[in-house]
Chain A
Amino acid sequence: MGSNGFLYKVWHLYYDGFRRMTVGRTLWAVILIKLFIIFAILKVLFFPDVIKQRAVKGHEADYVQQQMELHAHQ
């Protein structure tokens, strides 16, 4: 009973808080749009994990070594 009361209070805090938001609604809209652009568009289309893409799995160290050797002054 006690934990249900506590859980209800937590849920009610968030539910009532979100319901009563004024400027917060605008801020949340901005946050959600921003997160969508960052994670669903930018990350997917423009920010691949290069090593995961190009290195053979288990041989990432070899790939990095080769890449770095290209820039080494010999």
Chain B
Amino acid sequence: MINFLLDALPATVDWSRAQFALTAIYHWLFVPLTLGLAVIMGIVETCYYRTRKAFWKDAARFWQRLFGINFAMGVATGIILEFEFGTNWSNYSWFVGDIFGAPLAIEGIVAFFMESTFVAVMFFGWKKVSPGFHLASTWLTGLGATISAWWILVANAWMQYPVGQTFNPDTMRFEMTSFWDVALSPFAVDKFLHTVTSAWVIGAVFTVAVSCWYLWKKREQKLALASIKIASVVGIVASLLAALTGDNSAYMVSRVQPMKLAAMEALYNGGTDQSLTAVAWVNPMKQPDYQQQAQPPMRIGLPNMLSILATHDPHGYVPGINDIIKGYPKVDGTREPSTRDKMAMGRRAIAALKEYRTLSAGAAAAKSQKTGNVVANTASVHRICQLKEELRATMSYYGYGFVKDPSQIVPYVPVNFWCFRIMVGMGCLFILFFLAMGYLSFRTPKLPQQTWLHKVALALLPLAYIASECGWVVAELGRQPWTIQDMLPTWAAISDVQSSSVVLTFFIFLVLFTTMLAVEISILCKQIKRGPEHSDENKAEGTNA
């Protein structure tokens, strides 16, 4: 039975992972545009509030219409992920639900409630509330979405850097000891800032792309130029902030997830004065032979840059994959244990937990029935105390007790390596793109004639989404095999379900979400082609070129 289970296991693990990845990737197609367009529509409506010109009101209503389409399509794409926790990842759900569930609950109760309240005023309240209240509602809609993002990212950050908890062997769960350690974890703060600013980039790219389409088709020129100006400024600020927070993200990853950094860099063997890999030939189709190769072939490195990125010191030590497996010296002078040492401690933790729970159950039964002799009960209590100490000493390596070979803790290097480069490369490109669009829209009258640039803007839209998704791929695939870093590998976290059921729901989601995506794109394109509604006041102002 155990052999059958273990043979069937890889299929269930891999399909469960694939299903979560599929649904998370689809969810992340809708969310960044919500967060990003919220800023654009807030700024456009602020222009209306300040000028009271009908042109800005029509522009605001247009961008809000597109926001609404994307918002509606994104509704409930996130709830699927929570279903998967309960069905495919039940061990995970039980093990860490006390911490993980709290931010998700707050997200639903507070943020979503805020969003849904003010989005109704935003859409329905143009002639019913004052311009000031309407403007506030527009900004509060975006703020609600952003607060939602905060709590989800707190949950994800905890998976990467678990803090504020202690393990309770009686309940077989991690229990939260400090809500604020979890909610304000530095990892969560940085992840939030980086994710939100990258979403603003998406919003800015989308706005520029739609506006450039109008310029290309020689329509809505005033709306397009005004929107490009706003989006260019948002895009420049967001791109620079995304780069800054991204740099800090890499620094934090080097502190708490060194294997993820090593995978992102295809750093097989580390050391001091490490160079940053600009590019190298890392075969995308298979895990590299990091044990035999010194480094990937055709590597072009930027001297000392990885040490600076990871340690803020050009001579800083950065461990590679092999160093992490073998153990390496840390900055504070101590030594990080080898993976095999951690595996041994993990097995001690698993054994101690098993014995503790058996003795505790026995002691509880004896106490309730008032059976057993005093000596045996005292010895049992003494042993329970010893096991508690053993668990305190080894629980932080519990997850390693499930590892059979050190190679299992190495994420799939090629995907991490290339996705990181796609994300960073595109990020740098967007800085240049927004600078160019900003200059052309503010300083020259030539933008409406630059058809080639309009096409570039349109081409950048899907690339922006790819870059955004690549960021999440690095974050999540770089964490593998851990569902919670160092604490619970994927194969110990999943439910005992047939892989066939996971396969079935995988393809149901594929069809459902692809259909939803096609519907959204169709509705969006239809509304963009239709263009903004020109109010009578706007026509009277004669400002719709």
Complex Cα spacing A16 to B124, Å:
8
Complex Cα spacing A51 to B87, Å:
8
Query: Which of A28, A31, A46, A50 is close to B495, meaning CB atoms less than 8 Å apart?
Result: A50
Q: What chain A residues lie within 8 Å of B491 (beta carbons)? A: 71
Q: What chain A residues lie within 8 Å of B171 (beta carbons)? A: 61
Does A30 contact B68, Cβ atoms closer than 8 Å? no
Q: A37-72: which have CB < 8 Å to B? A: 37-38, 42-43, 46-51, 54, 60-62, 64-65, 67-72
Please tell me if B350 contacts chain A, counting CB pairs below 8 Å. Answer: yes
Q: What chain A residues lie within 8 Å of B240 (beta carbons)? A: none
Instruction: Give a binary string over B131-172; 1 marks a CB under 8 Å from any A CB, 0 the rest.
Output: 000000000000000000000000000000000000000111
Does A46 contact B501, Cβ atoms closer than 8 Å? yes
Does A50 contact B496, Cβ atoms closer than 8 Å? yes
Complex Cα spacing A73 to B350, Å:
9
Query: Which of B76, B91, B95, B404 is close to A73, meaning CB atoms less than 8 Å apart?
Result: B404
Does A69 contact B350, Cβ atoms closer than 8 Å? yes
Complex Cα spacing A54 to B496, Å:
10
Does B172 contact A64, Cβ atoms closer than 8 Å? yes
A46 to chain B, nearest CB (A): 5
Query: Which of A13, A62, A72 is close to B347, meaning CB atoms less than 8 Å apart?
Result: A72
Complex Cα spacing A74 to B2, Å:
13
Does A37 contact B402, Cβ atoms closer than 8 Å? no
Tell me whether chain B's interface is mostly helix, strand or loop, or mixed: helix
Contacts known (A17-B123, A65-B354, A68-B492); A73 close to B523, Cβ less than 8 A: no
A19 to chain B, nearest CB (A): 10
Most buried by B among A20, A49, A54: A49
Does A31 contact B72, Cβ atoms closer than 8 Å? yes
Closest to B488 in A: A68
Does A72 contact B492, Cβ atoms closer than 8 Å? yes
Complex Cα spacing A29 to B93, Å:
33
Complex Cα spacing A31 to B75, Å:
7
Q: What chain B residues lie within 8 Å of A31 (beta carbons)? A: 72, 75-76
Complex Cα spacing A42 to B504, Å:
11
Contacts known (A31-B72, A34-B516, A72-B401); A23 close to B87, Cβ less than 8 A: no
Complex Cα spacing A48 to B527, Å:
39
Query: Which of B90, B123, B512, B523 is close to A51, meaning CB atoms less than 8 Å apart?
Result: B90
Q: What chain A residues lie within 8 Å of B504 (beta carbons)? A: 46
Listed in ascending order, the chain B residues whose CB lies under 8 Å from chain A are 2, 5-6, 9, 65, 68-69, 72-73, 75-76, 79-80, 83-84, 86-87, 90-91, 93-95, 120-121, 123-125, 128-129, 170-173, 343, 347, 350, 353-354, 357, 401-404, 491-492, 495-497, 501, 504-505, 508, 512, 516, 519, 523, 527
